[in-house]
Amino acid sequence: MSWMRTTLTIDDDLAGLLKRRARELGVPFKEAVNRAIRSGLGEAARPRRRAATKTIPHSFGFRPGVDLDKLNQLADELESEAFVASSQRPRDPARRQRTRTRP
């Protein structure tokens, strides 16, 4: 429901009645004012119902067995596997190894 902010001048006696009514109902002052105006206008002031929001499902292409709630865990596992695989590569025999000499 959309709102319209406006300035409204209310007689002191009516404002007192609305404040008391708001306290009795446990609602904010502006809601008590809106309820009073709606009841005064009758059926014409009833809030209109909007059509229900339509949700359109979409397939994201995940394969069966992939738990969507654990995608971060899956990413961590794949990263760990890639790191282990890269650290176990055979070293290039043509590459010379430096030997350290102490001064």
pLDDT tens-digit series, residues 22-79: 999 999 999 999 888 888 887 665 666 777 788 888 777 777 777 777 888 878 888 9
Q: Is 20:12 a contact under the CB 8 Å cutoff?
A: no
For the CA atoms of 30, 31, 33, 39, what is the dihedral angle to 10 degrees? Answer: 160
Q: Which domain holds residue 35?
A: 12-45
Does a structural domain hold residue 99? no
Does a structural domain hold residue 19? yes
In this predicted structure, what is the pLDDT of residue 98? 59
- What is the dihedral sign for C-alpha 60, 61, 62, 64? positive
Does a structural domain hold residue 26? yes
In this predicted structure, what is the pLDDT of residue 99? 59
In this predicted structure, what is the pLDDT of residue 55? 84
Q: What's the pLDDT band for 103 if we cut at 50, 70, 90? A: low
Q: Is 72:58 a contact under the CB 8 Å cutoff?
A: no
